[in-house]
Structure 1
């Protein structure tokens, strides 16, 4: 691997099965999610199986499985854990577990409550990132339903959850509610869960833990990968352009497309540099001063990792080249960053 002056990668684990997410529960543990359905908890050198959800999921398609989890911000009090997975029937599924704390041993699925079940017409473009905003609401990114070119035009259709960013209130003990300030709550024939639309396959979104700004990485079709940013004071309702646009370029029609009020990405790269973007985080840790405040992301195919500096007009710079199939980035409770290799390795960013 080739590293820049700013950071290096230190191998932590090399025995993980198809890792797709690393997260925390606002304590000193990290949790690693395997696409095949298991979640492991790590505390220092200690590791234990936290949850086996393999009985819930299908992995028939290469993009299907257990795709994301999120601990409620008050998890230490309410025990709420949220899962996003492709169910046995192929539906994109959001569910909640209410965990009996302190949960220092393996937990079970007895409390599982399905909140959203969205039929997916194909087996790919599931999206699936879960993240809580500073407003306390859960944001869920779902892909356009799969196949090439969004043949059902789901991303622009406000009567389906496919190709959308959803925003819901999960702070109650059962079900969910729609925030009153969601952008489409007063409109007929629009699903009120929708926060933004026009997404192809949002593979990882995150919130800057300092500013609350939202970053979204959206996987492209055949030519362009893209990164979107919205300020914490956004009122929602953004149309990120798919399938009218791929990156900053017309997709359908290929020429003279009506850009209208479409929100263009703050960064893009062509497929000669990779083929599938993996979103990351704004670094807010204390170990690597050169990276502080920069958004870190990468590409699954090329293994390249870049930074974006919002304060420098969203300037994009290469950070390092790796031999990783970058499936996800992760952030611990201290704001330090990790990167996951789909082939089974987990690395930490170090000076």
Structure 2
């Protein structure tokens, strides 16, 4: 077998050398990402999971619930072929599909799924398609794989090699929730927590990559060269053993090299139990043992642990691994553990920094084979020839792996880095040379937005991207318009763009990027611009304009719109409207809301009211949180609403934010059943704090609004933290050809009393109702405070550390010093008060509280409240 593989690798090296003569494959010559475009084919369907592509380009794909579909590439039609009754008891549902190598003639396909009420196993079955239907009666059960139907890891990938051998990946079917390290619990009754009974068992099909040769009668034979012969303690189907949750799998048609992705355990840090968790991209030139649950990553060994006492008994030897578990029915002495091609943890990887950080679920993709005879203009270029595509379902990226002539790792490069893929879970190249991707959707399961997309290469000239801007969206007749397409983009920078403007389908004479036009007829009118380059490629953008009714202008007059300064606020609402000469007060709505939360609202430069919790929501959306959590419904983890409700009784405890923030960073287990919380060590404490505050805010009382007259006064409490929001709106009478138009405006009045959570940013400190965890060089920042008239700051603070000083700075931690105040020493929680005069400022500024101490580093002070005091 070794000699055969050497010949195969030599052939691969020769092919790679020939390709190298034809092209420069250095990353600097990689095609610009803007030469690729993602084309939606079909979707908005529940839980698409995997696909395979026929020789004619039709895409056959499956959903987790057992449905089998086809997307007809020529007809652009999606058809349901049939539904296989599928269990949903565990992760083992409908998992994989692969077309028979002779599919064009025999119309056979293979499915890996969990049958309903058929015992504890998963099944590989062959089905036949006839008259555009999946014939359930044609099922030939090829192979059954044990499954305890307890938990977890079903694997779920299949592929054929050029010899007609079928590779099947199977998970360890082991409960990982007893430990974040090696699940090797040998205590009686804990068999489901021992992966030595499956992955490390030479007599078990779980935790493996299997290789069989399906026969025409529905049976299978064992191809020569698998890991074991058939004995009482070995299964001959095993090609690779020692897998945890091997997912997608592919075979290099040149070299027969096997590639698969491996989803690893959840440990965020290395400790006495063993290494932190890694996901892996594996390569195998021959059968072997890849170590789980005895080693992981770069052959890092786990400890042999006595789970009853938590005592470390010994360390595993990767060269001579031994399976001494009483649950093992196979060989005791195992083949030496093999290293992966790529391995990466939650945190940034020193070996593979290109992979980033965060949650992780490695997805193996295809190898691209460039065919210069392929007539498709959208085929990927020769640069990608023999490169391997990989993805990460949690991190939402695709990467390109380049290999040397000896098939060793050369480089990992980003693919379409500006595109955020929505949980890529299956990838294949079609016969047209385009890349097809199933994007699973936002959540771990129960998605409604799964979709199938195609990624095309755009050779030669690229069409421009049209953008249209209009100064106004409504106005009186006649309405003068200022229209602009100047923000349109053409990635071929030498292109000269031309512009064709249409109003209601009629072409206008101006052809420049910026034009003026007058519409005289009342009604809704449609504006379109077609942007073309010199080669004739074009794209368009559209908008609509309401003519015949000017929007009303609504203004709220206040003596002050920053910090509250008097206990009574006088206001007046003014409305003007070009058509409504007499403003009807009944059409004016004025509402006042008080937000008692210590987290204030702010008014953005555009006038929109933005919650300070919005920052936490933004961080959640920009990371992988929604892969496991939804806003209101349970996914693999609890909903954010459920989390907020659980911690509602502890909400005001200053240590709660810190504790939950640490859980996001370090990971967690056991609070919500057996689901693990992935670690996010790459996120700074400020970021995780903001995430927690947003989640906890979901149980805040909704602000109570009260109606106010068009003008008058309302009372405020200057000593209570919080925010008053005054909103005024007016709906005009409209026009007979267009409906009424409503406009509104809001004003925000913040309390001058700031508690810990009112500070928007902080370096190395915790912000609850009290600023805590203050060390040397810590600071807290209050964003865009209206400092007009503020002459002093009153502090409530305490410290047991002599020599601490708070310096007040504007606009940065090193900005102008406005004033300083020494922090008096005393017992913790025995709050003391001091007032410090500051330099006069006008307008809005970021105000920094910078904590300094020449003699001490840690636990400098705690701050309960800061009041911005006006001179008037």
User: TM-score scaled by structure 1?
Assistant: 0.88
Alignment of 1:260-299 (within 5 A): 260=319, 261-272=336-347, 273=357, 274-285=359-370, 287-289=379-381, 290-299=383-392
Distance (Å, rounded) in 2 between the aligned partners of 1:186 and 1:32: 35
1:112 aligns with 2:139: yes
Q: Is the 8 A contact 2:241 2:289 kept in 1?
A: yes
Which structure has the highest helix share of the two?
A: 2
| CA distance in 2 between partners of 1:131 and 1:350 (Å) | 24
2:199 aligns to what SS in structure 1? helix
SS at match of 2:105: helix
2:318 aligns with 259
Correspondence for 1:216: 260
Determine if contact 1:158/1:189 at 8 Å carries over to the other structure. Answer: yes
What is the CA–CA distance in structure 2 between the aligned matches of 1:6 and 1:240, rounded to whole Å?
39
In the TM superposition, what are the counterparts of 1:141-220 in structure 2 within 5 Å? 141-148=169-176, 149-150=182-183, 151-152=193-194, 153=196, 154-185=198-229, 187-220=231-264
CA distance in 2, matches of 1:247, 1:334: 36
Q: Which residue of 2 aligns with 1:332?
A: 430
Distance 1:43 1:268 in 2: 37
1:239 to 284, 289, 297: 289
Cα shift at 1:124: 2.5
1:248 aligned residue: 298
State the partner residue of 1:28: 57
Q: Which secondary structure does the structure 2 equivalent of 1:76 belong to?
A: helix
Equivalent-residue separation in structure 2 for 1:198 and 1:243 (angstroms):
7
The verdict on how the C-alpha distance between 1:302 and 1:283 changes in structure 2, with shifts beyond 3 A counting, is: same
Q: Could you say which residue in structure 1 is the equivalent of 2:282?
A: 228
* Structure 1: distance between partners of 2:361 and 2:224: 35
- Change beyond 3 A, Cα 1:83–1:186: closer
Shift in Å, 1:71: 1.5
Q: Relative contact order: is structure 1 or structure 2 higher (C-alpha 8 Å, sep ≥ 6)? A: 1
Separation of aligned partners in 2, 1:186 and 1:248: 30
Deviation at 1:8, TM superposition (A): 4.1
Residue 70 of structure 2 is aligned to residue 41 of structure 1: yes
DSSP-derived class of the 2:221 partner: coil
The two structures, once aligned, show a CA RMSD in angstroms of: 2.3
Higher radius of gyration, 1 or 2: 2
With over 3 angstroms needed to count, the CA separation of the structure-2 counterparts of 1:146 and 1:9, relative to structure 1, is farther
SS of the equivalent of 1:301 reads: coil
Give the distance between the partners of 2:317 and 2:37, measured in 1 at CA. Answer: 43
Whether contact under 8 Å (1:48, 1:106) holds in the other structure is no
Asked if 1 retains the 8 angstrom alpha-carbon contact of 2:51 and 2:98, the reply is no
- How far residue 127 of structure 1 moved from its aligned partner, in angstroms, is 0.9
Output the CA distance in 2 between the equivalents of 1:82 and 1:323: 28
Residues 145-189 of structure 1: per-residue CA shift (max 9 Å, x gap)? 132144321111011100111111212313222224433125541
Aligned 8 A contact 1:206 1:280 in 2: yes
Residue 85 of structure 2 corresponds to residue 51 of structure 1: no
Q: How many residues align?
A: 339
Q: More deviation in 309-318 or 289-298?
A: 309-318
Q: Secondary structure at the residue paired with 2:136?
A: coil
Deviation at 1:94, TM superposition (A): 0.9
Could you tell me whether the CA contact under 8 Å between 2:299 and 2:337 is conserved in 1? no
Gap regions ≥5 residues in structure 1: none
Report if aligned partners of 2:99, 2:109 keep a CA contact under 8 Å in 1: yes
Q: Which residue of 2 aligns with 1:304?
A: 397
What SS class does the counterpart of residue 135 from structure 2 fall into?
coil
Structure-1 separation of matches of 2:434 and 2:451: 17
**Aligned partners of 2:302 and 2:315 also within 8 Å:** no
Change (3 A) 1:14 1:82: closer
What residue is the counterpart of 1:60 in the other structure? 89
Q: Distance between the aligned counterparts of 1:7 and 1:167, measured in 2? A: 36
CA contact (8 A) 1:64 1:126 kept: yes
Instruction: Tell me, in whole angstroms, the C-alpha distance in 2 between the residues paired with 1:246 and 1:183.
Output: 20
Q: Distance in 1 between matches of 2:440 and 2:230?
A: 42
* Stretch deviating more after TM superposition (116-125 or 164-173): 116-125
Cα distance 1:4–1:244, how it changes in 2: closer, same or farther (>3 A)? farther
Partner of 2:127: 97
SS in 2 for 1:329: strand
For residues 105-139 of structure 1, the C-alpha deviation after alignment (integer angstroms, 9 at most, x for no partner) is 22220011222222212342111211111221111
Evaluate the alpha carbon distance shift between residue 189 and residue 64 of structure 1 in structure 2; reply closer, same or farther with a 3 A threshold: closer
Write the distance in 1 (CA, Å) between the matches of 2:437 and 2:236. Answer: 34
> Mean alpha-carbon deviation: is it higher for 3-12 or for 36-45?
3-12
Give me the whole-angstrom Cα distance separating, in 1, the residues matched to 2:366 and 2:434: 10
